[in-house]
A and B are shown apart, each in its own frame.
Chain A
Amino acid sequence: MADQTQIAAIPAPDAKREARAIAFGVAGWLVPGLGHALQRMWGRALTFFAVVGVLVFVGAGMRGNLFNSDGGDAFAALGYLADLGTGSFYWLAKYIEVGGPDVSHAYGDYGTRFLAAAGVLNLLAALHAYEAARGRKA
C-alpha cells in the first residue's frame, strides 16, 4: 500500500518538457551557450560562448587541422565528430582558416587540439543544458 502511494507520487514523464529539453540541447550545440541563454543562465551562456569561441578562433588562427567528412580513417572520423561539436563555429573556423591547415609546425598541431577540445567542450555544455532543462542539474 505504501509502495503504491510512493509510485503515484512520482510525476509522469512530461513529453513537452522532454521535447523542450532536446530543443535546448540542440540549440546549445548549434550556437555555444544558447541552450543556457534560453534558460536564463546568463553566466554559463556567456562563458561557453566565449570559451568555445576563443578556442575555435585561436585554433583556426594556429592553422589547426579542421577535419572533413571524407577523412578516410577512424582518427579522421573521430576528429570530424569532435570538430562538428562546435556547431555553427565549425563553419566560422573554416572561414577564418583561409590558408588551410599546417600541421608541419608544432603550433598547427596545437591548433588541431584546440579545435577538437572546443567541440568536445561544447557537446558537454549542450548536454548540461539538456539535463538542466529536464531538471536534473542546475
Chain B
Amino acid sequence: MRFDLSHLQAMLLFALMISIAFGFLSRRRPMDRVKYTVWSLLLFLLFGIGIGWAMYPFSR
C-alpha cells in the first residue's frame, strides 16, 4: 500500500482529521461539534496556505 499525496492533499487530509478529532473532544452536542470542526478546518487551511504564501518570496 502506497500513497502519493500532493502537498495540498496531505494538508487537507491532515487538517480534516485533526479538526474532526478536536470537534469531538471539545464539544458534546452534534451541532456544536460540526461548527467547531468547520471553524478549526478553516483556520488550519487559512494558516497553512498563508504561511505557504509568506514563505514564497524566500523559496529561491
Contact = CB atoms under 8 A, between A and B. Distances in A.
10 contacts: A47-B21, A61-B1, A62-B2, A62-B5, A99-B2, A110-B5, A110-B7, A113-B14, A121-B18, A125-B21
A56 to B, nearest CB: 11
Interface residues of A, number: 27
Given A58-B13, A113-B14, A107 B21 contact: no
Contacts of A58: 3, 5, 13
B5 A51 contact: no
Nearest to A57: B1
B47 to A, nearest CB: 15
A106 interface: yes
Interface string A42-65: 011001100100110110111100
A96 interface: yes
B46 interface: no
Interface of B: 1-5, 7, 10, 13-14, 17-18, 20-21, 24-25, 28
B38 to A, nearest CB: 15
For A54, A63, A107, A111, which residue has the most chain B Cβ atoms within 10 angstroms? A107
A44 B3 contact: no
Contacts of B2: 61-63, 99
Which 8 pairs show the lowest CB-CB distances between chains A and B? A61-B3, A47-B24, A110-B10, A51-B21, A61-B1, A51-B17, A62-B3, A44-B24
